[in-house]
Structure 1
Amino acid sequence: MDYQLAIENAPDAVPGGTGILLLHPSTGETDRIDTDFLKTDTDRFLVISTRTTAREVKQKLDHYDVDEEQAEILDTLSIERGYSRRSTDDVHYVSSPADLEGVLEVTRDFLERTEGKRRISLDSITEMAYYADEGRVRDVVTELLDLLDEHEAVGLFHLSKGVHDEEQVEQFLGPFDAIVDLDRDGNVDSDFDRL
């Protein structure tokens, strides 16, 4: 199963199981790339948000005209910030971005009970690494990529290159099939040679 992509300077489509790493400056405007990725050729998608609350994710989806009927959101921040939240059919909560097992569990459940073309957006690896051990975050990212492969889904994972040193960035690059690199001026470069 192939998925169409709406990413500048990238192939028109990628096979199911593809994991894409979006490298961006810490002040980079990633919303356009993220929402174009989510709304193209998709039946269901899961936004794993470690940077904003579910309410803010919904505002972003609405602003960029993404069909919320297809969306599920995993909010890792609200409980950490002291808001009491109950999960619904389309919004899930874990205690904090450091709850890596919880993130894995919600993602696995989403992929096991949905069908068709599924996409995952994780925004962002950088925030997870701020809250949890970086080595463990790398392991969980690899496990998430394995789930994409197993269920023929595709994923876009955000990493802020201004926050990590070169060696850390290289370590995170390792398991990904493709890299999309956004610069400060909004230019996009990509490397899909690993596919």
Structure 2
Amino acid sequence: MEYTLAIENAPETVSGGTGLLLVHPSTVETDRIDTQFLKTDTDHLLVISTRTTAREVRQKLEHYEVDEQKATILDAISVERGYTRRQSDQVRYLSAPDNFADLIAETERFLSQSDGKRRVSLDSVTEMIYYADHEQTRDAIAEILELLDEYDAVGLFHLAAGVHDDAVVDEFRDLFDGTLELDETGSLTSSL
């Protein structure tokens, strides 16, 4: 299955099973790229947030006019911060950003219970590393990438480059089919 990428300076399409790494400075806004990825050519989308709450994710989707009816949000931060949460079909909660077993299980649940074109966004790999370490995070991301391949879905994963050693960033780049790179000015380059 082919997926359209409506992202500047990126290929027009990618094949199902493709995982993209969005590498960015921690000071640059990534919502524009993330929502361009999510709202194009898709039937169902899963937004995994280890950085912001489900409420904030909903606000982002609404602001950028992403069809919320297609969205499932997996909030990994609210429970950790002690916020009240109400699980529903469209909003799921994890106990913490480093609860990788449930993160992977919820991702597989989404992919196995939906059909058509599916997109997964994970913001952010950096937060996962903060809560666990880069080795555990790398293994969890590798499992999610395998699920994308198995279910013919595509994914976009955020990584704030400046806060990690170059060797760690390179290790994560090697997991993915391609990299989208934002610079300090918000300009994007891609290598796939």
Query: 1:138 maps to what in 2?
Result: 138
Task: Supply the AA of the counterpart residue of 1:41.
Answer: D
Aligned to 2:79, what secondary structure does the other structure show? coil
Structure 1 distance, partners of 2:134, 2:5, is 29
Query: 1:93 maps to what in 2?
Result: 93
* TM-score normalised according to structure 1 size: 0.97
List runs of 5+ in structure 1 lacking aligned partners: none
The list of structure 1 runs, each at least 4 consecutive aligned residues, that deviate by more than 4 angstroms after superposition, is: none
Query: 2:74 maps to what in 1?
Result: 74
Structure 2 distance, partners of 1:84, 1:123, is 21
CA deviation digits over 1:75-99, x for unaligned, max 9?
0011001123231000000001010
- Which structure 2 residues correspond to residues 12-161 of structure 1 after superposition, within 5 A? 12-161=12-161
Structure 2 distance, partners of 1:44, 1:161, is 29
CA deviation digits over 1:132-172, x for unaligned, max 9?
12101000000000000000000000000011110010111
* TM-score normalised according to structure 2 size: 0.99
Query: 1:8 maps to what in 2?
Result: 8
Aligned to 1:127, what secondary structure does the other structure show? helix
Structure 2 distance, partners of 1:84, 1:185, is 37
Aligned to 2:87, what secondary structure does the other structure show? coil
Structure 2 distance, partners of 1:19, 1:98, is 20
Structure 2 distance, partners of 1:155, 1:161, is 18
CA deviation digits over 1:104-155, x for unaligned, max 9?
0100000000000000000000000000121010000000000000000000
Report the more deviating stretch, 76-85 or 99-108: 76-85
Q: What is the aligned-residue identity percentage?
A: 60
Structure 2 distance, partners of 1:43, 1:2, is 13
Task: Supply the AA of the counterpart residue of 2:167.
Answer: E
Q: CA RMSD in A?
A: 0.6
Structure 1 distance, partners of 2:172, 2:190, is 16
